[in-house]
Amino acid sequence: MAWKTLDEMDLNGKRVLTRVDINVPMEEGRVTDSTRIDRILPTIRDIQAKGGTPILLAHFGRPKGQIVPEMSLRHVVPALSHALGQDVTFIDGNYGQSVEALPSGAVALLENTRFNPGEEKNDRGFAERLASLGDVYVNDAFSAAHRAHSSTEALARLLPACAGRLMEAELSHLEAALGQPKRPVVAVVGGAKVSTKLDLLGNLVSKVDHLVIGGGMANTFMAAEGLKIGTSLAEHEMTGTASEIKSKAEAAGCQIHLPRDIVVAREFKAGAASETLPADACPEDAMILDAGPETVKAIAGVFEACQTLIWNGPLGAFEIPPFNMATNAAAKHAAALTKSGRLISVAGGGDTVAALNDADAADAFTYISTAGGAFLEWMEGKTLPGVAALEG
C-alpha cells in the first residue's frame, strides 16, 4: 500500500481539500438518491475530528467547461447539510476570500469543478489555483480516479496527499479481491457486448481460476462454439475474438463457464411466455434472455469451491421478470456463502449494483463498489491516474 490514509496525516488547524463524488441523481432541484453523499460522511467527520476544515471539491454532470446553472452544486447543499447535520458553506467561482473566512469546524463545498475548462484538461494552472486554497489534499472519489483531471490528478501532486475513507475502502477491498486474493477466485462477467469488455476479459483470464460469462456476451461465446442462438442479442463479428479469449483462458488455467441451459422467449417484455431448454436447443425464432436452473446450480457449485468472488454484470435480462431468475438465484447463493464466512465477495458497476439490490443480496456482499468506469478499468488491470497520483 503505497498511498497514505487519513490516519497518517496531520490535519489540525489545516484546510483540507477533499475530492468527493456527489454526482447524485436529481429531479426538480431535489436529490432523489443520497447514497453517494452518505458514503463520504466518514471522511468529512474524520477530518473534522482531526482538527481540519473540509473543503469539498466535486463535479456534477458534464458542463464541458461552461457555467450551466442547472448543474451547479448549489442544488446539492441542502441534502449534504441534512446528511451532515450542519450547515455547509457554498463557495462559487470566487474561491479565495470565502475560503479564508471559514471558521474552525466548518464544511465548505466549492462550485462544480467542471465549470472550469481547465478541469478536464488536467490543467496545472487550475490545479495550482485549487492548491492555493488548502494545506492538504484528500481524494475520496475512487469513482473519478480513472480520470486524469486537475482535481483528481494534478492537484494530488501539489500538496501532501492521502486517500479518504471511501477511497481507502475501495482500494483495500479491490486489492484483496484481485491483487492478492484468497484462491480459488471466480469472476462473474455479464452484460450485452463482448466488445465493451475485451480488456476486462483479457485481464481476468490470467488472474482468476474460474470465469462465469453471462448475458448477451454468453450468446456470442456460444455462437463461437457453433451453437444456434436464434434471434438472440449477440456480436457475431466477435466470435473469433471469443474463441481467442477461450484459448487464452485454457493456456492460463482459467476455466470458462457458459450456460448449460437457457431461458428463451419470442418477445422481449415482462411476463413474456418463455421456456427452458438445453443450451444447444434454441429455436430459430426465439431469443435467449436468461440462464436456466442447471446453469445456476453449476455456478453455485463454482462459488462453493472458491474463496473469492468478483462480480460485474448480470447473467440475463434482469430488468424484466422472469428473466432475472439466474442473476437473483446466483446472487442470493453468493450472499449466503459470504454471510457464512466462506466467500469474500466484491461487486461493482451500475447494472451490477442494481441487479444485486433487486435480488436483496447487496447488503450481504463483502463490498459493493459504487464506481462504474473506475471499477471496470481497475478490473482491466489499467493504472488509474487518481490512484497513481496518491502513490507519488
Give the residue numbers annotated as catalytic, written as ranges. 36, 193, 350, 373
Distance CA 189, CA 182 (A): 19
* Residue 226, φ and ψ in degrees, nearest 5: 90, 10
Instruction: Please list the residues that pair with 279 across neighbouring strands.
Output: none
- The answer to whether residues 151 and 127 touch, using CB atoms and an 8 Å cutoff, is yes
Nearest to 204 by CA among 273, 254, 257, 267: 254
For 154, residues 6+ apart whose C-beta sits below 8 A from its C-beta are 122, 123, 124, 126, 127, 389
Residue whose cell numbers read 455462437: 223
Pairing mode, strands 274-278 and 261-265: antiparallel
State the distance between the two ends of the chain, measured CA to CA, in whole angstroms: 12
Could you tell me the CA-to-CA distances from 272 to 220, 265, 322, 335 in Å, in that order? 23, 7, 8, 29
